[in-house]
């Protein structure tokens, strides 16, 4: 805005002699109102990045920012969480399956041991019989073979090698159930052997049960248990410091 | 060292105690396979390894007649010699108790009066 001495008084300037003696006051130009951003329709929300306003026409850069900065870690996170959940689910399924298999084998083993006790008792309480003995012998031999298979399936901890406790226990059971006279035509009834089988079978079942408990305690939740132990150890170490 | 593969050289389906009980009996195995091969190994100061992998099962009566019967039928054969010259073996864990059982049958037979 132009200022003239001869022209009309400037708003706020002194008049007459005072105007001649007094130094001229500095002219303060009117401050123009903040320009309204072009293409910014009324009621349009203004966006800011830092202190800089962003017009509606430039909001496409916000979506670009989202695509550049937010989406990649979000997608990576989703992929990682999906993979981890699949791995955890598989580990849990495997553990559950193994446990079910061992439990089913243990149940079958118990019923076969019971059948063996009955068969051996009946066999050893009578002397050789040309008609019955062959059938009884075949049944006892089948049961012993089945028991060996089931015991090796549900007592992995006892079945590490040939000299392991599991094979020894089954061998002892088989020895009590059969003996040197088993299957001979000169066999006579043997009450001691008939009762010994029950005793050995009871000891065998007890040992298998405790072996199975030890095995599951050691392998409980496998990976998770080992990580929990490590975390607990680290936590104790930090607290000591 | 010589090896006798029972499943391949004799049968994968081991039978009963006597020949009368059917084929592949312990008596047949002892007379046709075990005794000649063991005596040969003893003469050569070698060890006879008997491998049972591949058999469907090891019936106790078969084992008693084959291994316990070895001490009954070979005069002068001692348990000590058998322990030195005869080794029973199997990779299959289900057969391990029966290897031990065969050993026990030999021990029982050695303790029995002839």
Q: Which pLDDT tens digits describe chain A residue by residue (241 residues)?
A: 444 444 444 454 455 555 456 666 666 656 555 555 555 555 555 556 566 665 555 556 778 888 888 888 999 999 999 999 999 999 889 888 888 888 888 889 989 999 999 999 999 999 988 888 889 999 999 999 999 999 888 877 788 888 888 899 999 999 999 988 998 888 998 988 888 888 888 888 888 888 777 777 776 655 566 667 777 777 887 777 6
Which residues in chain A are closer than 8 Å to B102, comparing Cβ atoms? none
Smallest CA-to-CA distance from A162 within B70, B77, B103 is with: B103
Decide: A136 and A127 in contact? Cβ < 8 Å.
Answer: no
Which residues in chain B are closer than 8 Å to A135, comparing Cβ atoms? none
Return the residue in A109, A160, A162 with the most chain B beta carbons within 10 A, the one to mutate for interface testing.
A162
Is some CB atom of chain A closer than 8 A to the CB atom of B24? Answer: no
Q: Do B60 and A182 touch (CB under 8 A)?
A: yes
Both tokens of A167, joined, read 């094979």
Nearest to B57 among A145, A166, A170 (CB): A145
Smallest CA-to-CA distance from A92 within A215, A226, A220, A212 is with: A220
**Bridge-based pairing state of the strands B86-89 and B48-51:** parallel
- pLDDT tens figures, B16-65: 999 998 999 999 999 999 999 999 999 999 999 999 999 999 999 999 99
Nearest to A171 among B17, B68, B104 (CB): B104
Q: Do B60 and A178 touch (CB under 8 A)?
A: yes
Which residues in chain B are closer than 8 Å to A146, comparing Cβ atoms? none
Q: Which phi and psi angles does A53 have, rounded to 5°?
A: -75, 150
The string over A103-123, giving b where at least 16 C-beta atoms fall within 10 Å of a residue's C-beta and e elsewhere, is eebbebbbebbebbbebbbeb
Indicate yes or no: pTM above 0.80. no
Decide: B71 and B106 in contact? Cβ < 8 Å.
Answer: yes
Q: Angle A139-A182-A107 (CA atoms, 0-180°, nearest 5)?
A: 35
Interface of B with A in 54-93 (CB under 8 A): 57-61, 64-65, 68, 93
CA atoms lying within 13 Å on the CB side of residue A140 = 28
Question: How many whole angstroms separate alpha carbon A212 and alpha carbon A204?
Answer: 12
What residue of B is the nearest CA neighbor of A146? B94
Distance from CA of B93 to the nearest CA of A (A): 7
Distance from CA of B21 to the nearest CA of A (A): 9
Smallest CA-to-CA distance from B98 within A154, A177, A122 is with: A177
């Amino acid at each position: 805005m132009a200022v003239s001495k001869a022209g009309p008084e400037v708003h706020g300037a002194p008049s007459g002699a005072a105007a001649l003696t007094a130094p001229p006051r500095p002219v303060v130009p009117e401050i123009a109102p903040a320009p309204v951003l072009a293409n910014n329709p009324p009621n349009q929300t203004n966006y800011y990045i830092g202190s800089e306003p962003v017009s509606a026409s430039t909001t496409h850069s916000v979506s670009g920012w989202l695509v550049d900065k937010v989406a990649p870690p979000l997608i990576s996170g989703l992929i990682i969480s999906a993979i981890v959940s699949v791995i955890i689910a598989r580990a849990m399924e495997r553990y559950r399956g193994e446990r079910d298999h061992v439990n089913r084998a243990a149940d079958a083993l118990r019923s076969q041991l019971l059948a063996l006790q009955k068969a051996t008792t009946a066999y050893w309480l009578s002397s050789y019989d040309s008609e019955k003995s062959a059938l009884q012998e075949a049944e006892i031999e089948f049961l012993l073979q089945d028991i060996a298979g089931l015991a090796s399936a549900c007592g992995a901890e006892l079945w590490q090698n040939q000299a392991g406790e599991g094979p020894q226990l089954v061998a002892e059971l088989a020895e009590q159930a059969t003996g040197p006279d088993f299957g001979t035509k000169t066999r006579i009834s043997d009450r001691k052997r008939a009762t010994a089988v029950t005793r050995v079978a009871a000891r065998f079942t007890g040992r298998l049960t405790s072996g199975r408990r030890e095995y599951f305690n050691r392998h409980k939740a496998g990976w998770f248990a080992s990580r929990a132990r490590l975390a607990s150890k680290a936590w104790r170490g930090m607290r000591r410091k | 060292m010589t090896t006798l593969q029972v499943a391949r050289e004799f049968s994968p389906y081991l039978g009963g105690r006597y020949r009368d009980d059917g084929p592949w009996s312990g008596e047949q195995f002892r007379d046709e396979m075990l005794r000649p091969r063991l005596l040969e190994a003893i003469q050569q100061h070698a060890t006879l390894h008997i491998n049972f992998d591949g058999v469907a099962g090891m019936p106790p009566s078969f084992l008693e007649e084959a291994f316990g019967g070895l001490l009954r039928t070979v005069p002068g054969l001692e348990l000590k010699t058998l322990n030195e010259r005869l080794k029973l073996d199997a990779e299959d864990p289900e057969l391990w108790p029966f290897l031990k059982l065969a050993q026990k049958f030999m021990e029982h037979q050695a303790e029995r009066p002839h």
